[in-house]
Amino acid sequence: MEQRVLILAPFGRDADVIAEVLNKDNRSCLACRDADALTEALDAGAGTALIAEEALADQRATRLFEWLEHQPAWSDFPFILLAATGTGRRSPRGLEALERLGNVVVLERPLNSETLRRAVASGLRARARQYESRRHLAERIEAQEALVQLNDSLESRIAERTHELASANNRLMMEIHERAKVQAVLVQSQKMEALGQLTGGIAHDFNNLLNVIMVNSELIARVSSDERIRSMAATVKRATERGAKLTGQLLTFSRNSNLDLKAVDVVALLQGMRDIITVSLGSGISYSNEFESDEMWTQADANQLELAVLNLAINARDAMPGGGQLRVSVKERPAPDQTLAEGQYVVIEVTDTGSGIPPDIVTRVFDPFFTTKPIGKGTGLGLSQVYGIARQAGGTARLVSEEGVGTTVELWLPMRERVAPQNAEASNTEANAVGEKRVLVIEDDSEVRAMLVESLRMLGYNVTEAADGRAGLNRLADDNPDLLMVDFAMPGMNGIDVIAEARRMRSDLPVILATGYADVDISGLSVERCTVLRKPFQLDDLARSIRLGLIA
């Protein structure tokens, strides 16, 4: 009962649709006919409640608001309010209703099923913690009652037990203090989780927009013979690449991005970065490297690791406005404590002779959006991104600083065995993979679909298209494509559902799954020849993925 999801959406089929979405996660759902029925269900126990905004109009929720006002001290029941599309500025009555609900998340309809499921999961987790707090409170009350009874029965021995009682009281105060600290960490964790979910959804929408702009700017540059127009298109592309980099930083911070983890020789990577780091530092800062051996291998995303080191170098430069020294060294060290798994680690140390960081803010430097730089000089995502990259590679990041002396940032990455270079043998086959190949594109966003179709036709493919999963499956037999390209987030059937159905029709059909979500995982698909293409991608990325898909 305490994990039920209550649904108050009395008009239309909203309640049934919501229940169908949540049933996929094995949620126990109860649709309530009105606010009074919802209040009765709350008395019986629930984990969260979804309420359509119109159900609160015309004083329909008087009993509900009275129930909220009389909640126990441990309770702050989580609500999810489903707002109508285009509601604009709410009336004073609507704002009052939101205020009286208290712990409420507002979602605007129409809803994305993933957003709804995550909001419900977050609400259930928050309520579960409240029930856990209630249990702890009851245990404490019982303990306190037992203590009172014991005190009443032992009044004759108060004098000889004074010291023991004082010690017990000190222990109790320490427990209360520790519990308060744990609660503060818990609240911060909830905030970070919600922020991570929000950034993941925003980044998906931006990735679609950036992809349309990026590829169309490349198409303009290819078809135009006017050098001025080509220059403008190049400027647009550079701007979209900066936007893509920002969304990538947000996704890395929110721990939602899937890094391309491969064997990387850290020594070779840093040697290849020497020129760009030197240019970034300027002439006033001397730069040096120190390596314990010629090769030191780890499992990481090479591009993200380069970005992390470059971020640290730029931060060091900003901390040394009058010049100084920057040293990047690579060492092999065992795990220093239990925060890391046992084994050997590659440690990248970035040390500067800058101004250092005050002790009172050292513990906050890896927090997202925290920065000591002036407004407009930093996003506060740099060190958070560095920490996220290290954690997703199986390691961690640490920082030691002393004011007036300098700062050292350490990236601890698990060491792995050396990997021999592989010979690329598929170049000739790739070059001949276009021919008269047919590609079926399934994409619900009309602008993205038009961009994909135009790009593939310019690359020499025969292209057919469909606006949703069902329409694409209906075309599959007639079009008989050599490759299927499908978007992940679509209404009705998502991309993974479409792939599963298409493979039942043609088990050997190569597939490319395009997505702006960073945490899409195809490992659960029992299929071969399936490639994920992350948005926003460039025209060359699209061409390469299509070629590799056709020859796989």
- Three-class DSSP labels, 200-240: HHHHHHHHHHHHHHHHHHHHHHHHCCCHHHHHHHHHHHHHH
Instruction: Note the pLDDT of residue 414.
Output: 93
278-305 pLDDT, tens digit per residue, is: 888 888 999 999 999 899 999 888 878 8
Instruction: Note the pLDDT of residue 326.
Output: 94
DSSP 135-172: HHHHHHHHHHHHHHHHHHHTGGGHHHHHHHHHHHHHHH
475-514 pLDDT, tens digit per residue, is: 998 899 999 999 888 888 888 889 989 988 988 889 998 8
Alpha-carbon distance of 351 to 493, in angstroms, equals: 51
Element of type H or E holding 484? strand 483-487
More confident position, 75 or 424: 75
Q: How confident is the model at residue 429 (pLDDT cuts 50, 70, 90)?
A: very low
Q: Are 524 and 532 in contact (CB under 8 A)?
A: no
Instruction: Walk me through the domains of the chain, giving residue ranges and CATH numbers.
Output: 5-127 (3.40.50.2300), 262-414 (3.30.565.10), 428-551 (3.40.50.2300)
Alpha-carbon distance of 4 to 47, in angstroms, equals: 5
The closest of 458, 444, 453 to 516, measured between CA atoms, is: 444
- Residue 515: pLDDT over 90: no
Q: How confident is the model at residue 520 (pLDDT cuts 50, 70, 90)?
A: low
Average pLDDT, stretch 438-452?
Answer: 90
- Residue 423: pLDDT over 50: no
Structure tokens at 78: 């989580």
- Residue 473: pLDDT over 50: yes
Q: How confident is the model at residue 113 (pLDDT cuts 50, 70, 90)?
A: confident
Q: Are 475 and 464 in contact (CB under 8 A)?
A: yes
The closest of 52, 44, 120 to 87, measured between CA atoms, is: 52
56-95 pLDDT, tens digit per residue, is: 876 778 888 889 888 888 888 999 988 876 656 667 777 7
Q: How confident is the model at residue 438 (pLDDT cuts 50, 70, 90)?
A: very high
Instruction: Note the pLDDT of residue 434.
Output: 52
- Residue 437: pLDDT over 80: yes
Alpha-carbon distance of 466 to 498, in angstroms, equals: 12
Average pLDDT, stretch 324-351?
Answer: 91
Residue 104 three-state SS: strand
Average pLDDT, stretch 220-231?
Answer: 86
More confident position, 203 or 450: 450
Amino acid letter, 434: V
Q: Are 479 and 464 in contact (CB under 8 A)?
A: yes
Instruction: Note the pLDDT of residue 207.
Output: 76
Alpha-carbon dihedral angle through residues 307, 309, 314, 319, given to the nearest 10 degrees: 150
Q: How confident is the model at residue 427 (pLDDT cuts 50, 70, 90)?
A: very low
- Residue 416: pLDDT over 70: yes
Q: Are 512 and 545 in contact (CB under 8 A)?
A: yes
Counting Cβ atoms within 10 Å, is residue 280 exposed (0-12), middle (13-18) or buried (19+)?
middle
